[in-house]
Every structure is written in structure tokens, then in C-alpha cells.
Structure 1
Amino acid sequence: MGVEDLVVLRLKMFKFEISAEDTDIIAFLIQKALNSINNITNQNYTEDTFPISLKEILVDKAVGEYLKLKNTLGELPENFETLAVSQIKEGDTTVSFSETSTDKKIDNLINMLLFSRDFELLKYRRLVW
């Protein structure tokens, strides 16, 4: 399965349906995410030479870029905010996250996709003397 297929699959996990016109956008954002990883690792990976062990990070970064773009353009689906957890109840204990706005939750999700696994890229960092 190619990176583009994995990005579309990951977006489906967030209840996103990808249109045909979004295919070029996704290809661009995959390249942007790949360039970001290359900058962090000081490598020159392509989609063909990219390590399999980092593929999920590439996919998450591309998905984060896509959601950030859609959020900036105001094109996130209305039901997207329902994915953000607002309350957890177990037994007689309830924890409410209502003080956090939906926009903040979406921003946290996007930042998690973009940056949360950057520390794993350090293993692949190439030092140049």
C-alpha cells in the first residue's frame, strides 16, 4: 500500500471522505511532510527509499498538514468537532473537558499528528562533519 493510500485510509479514521480534487493536494502535502522529515533527519529520502519503520510518521504528518489546511480554510466538516472528547464517565466519576474549546481540541489533534513523534526521527538523524 502506497503512502497516498495510507493517508486516505488515515483520513477515513477521522470520518473524512476524500474527493478526487483533493488527490493533488494530498500528493503535495505528502511531499511537504517528507521534506520536513528530511530536514529533521538530515537525510534525502524519497517515497521509494523511505524507511518502512517511519512510514506511519510520514502519514500522520501528511494527515496533520491536510487537517491544518482544511481548518485554515474553514472546510472541516461540521461533524468533525464531535470527534473531540468532551467528557469521560466511568462508574460514578465524571471528568469533563468542556472548558477546552472545540477549536483548541482540533488544534491539539493537528499538533499531535504533526509533531508528537518527532523524537523518533532522531534515531535516523545523520550527522555531517
Structure 2
Amino acid sequence: MEDKIIENLRSMGCEFVEEHYSLLKFCIDKVVTDLNSRCHTKELPKGLEESAIDRVCGEFLYALKSTGKLEEFDLEQGVSSVKVGDTSVNFSGTSPDAAFNNLIGTLRNSGEELIKCFRKIQF
């Protein structure tokens, strides 16, 4: 999963550096634990892997931005729209910072509608 996450981050214009590896691991653990607890499973369901990857990317970018370490990311790179599943968000007419915040929000909530499909009854 780590390789796919790093590939996604690079495709969004964020160069992954080794000093961020522990933060990436923390974000992966956080997202997987959250999804597992919401689905009442011990392992991440196969159908939620792509959503988990998007969520980890969103958490990672949010953490970098919150700590002021998002230097290598170009907010002006022109994210005009994002499509995740059947949801599309158009950012035209917004400031680069607002568009980036929308992108992070969309990534962090990716697959929200799928979670109920993988929930198990907990006794």
C-alpha cells in the first residue's frame, strides 16, 4: 500500500522524502485503524483499499500543511477538479489555498459511502 500512496502523492505534485516516512506510517495506521473500527473488522476489506489510499494521502497532506512542512508542494499547480468514484469536485474560481483545502477534504473522506457495505455486526 505504501508504494501506491507514494505514487499518488507524486502524481499530485508532492515529492515524498524519506524524513516524512514516519509521518506516512502514522497516517496509514490511523486510517486503517479507523476503517477497521468502523467496519468492525480486523483487516482492511479489499474493497476499501483504494479509499484507504486516498484517505492516507489526504491525512498526510493535511498533516504536512498543518505543521508547515508542505514546502515542496506547489499550490499554484492548477488542481481544477477532482473525481473520486462518482463524486466530482470542481475548484475553478477558487483561490489555490481553498482549492487545496477542498482537495484534502475530498481525499480524507474518500469512500465514505462504501464503508457501510463492509460493516459487520458487532456483538
Q: Identify the residue that residue 51 of structure 1 maps to in structure 2.
A: 45
Unaligned runs of 5+ in 1: 87-95
Q: Taking structure 2 as the reference length, what is the TM-score of the superposition?
A: 0.80
Q: Identify the residue that residue 12 of structure 2 maps to in structure 1.
A: 14
1:64 aligned residue (31, 50, 58): 58
Deviation digits for residues 89-120 of structure 1 (CA, Å, limit 9, x no counterpart): xxxxxxx933x222221111011111131111
1:82 alignment partner AA: Q
Kindly name which structure, 1 or 2, has the bigger radius of gyration based on alpha carbons: 1
Q: Identify the residue that residue 82 of structure 1 maps to in structure 2.
A: 77
Q: Taking structure 1 as the reference length, what is the TM-score of the superposition?
A: 0.77
Unaligned runs of 5+ in 2: 82-90
Higher helix share: 1
Q: Identify the residue that residue 92 of structure 1 maps to in structure 2.
A: none
2:80 alignment partner AA: V
Identity %, equivalent residues: 26
Q: Give me the CA root mean square deviation.
A: 2.0
Matched positions, count:
113
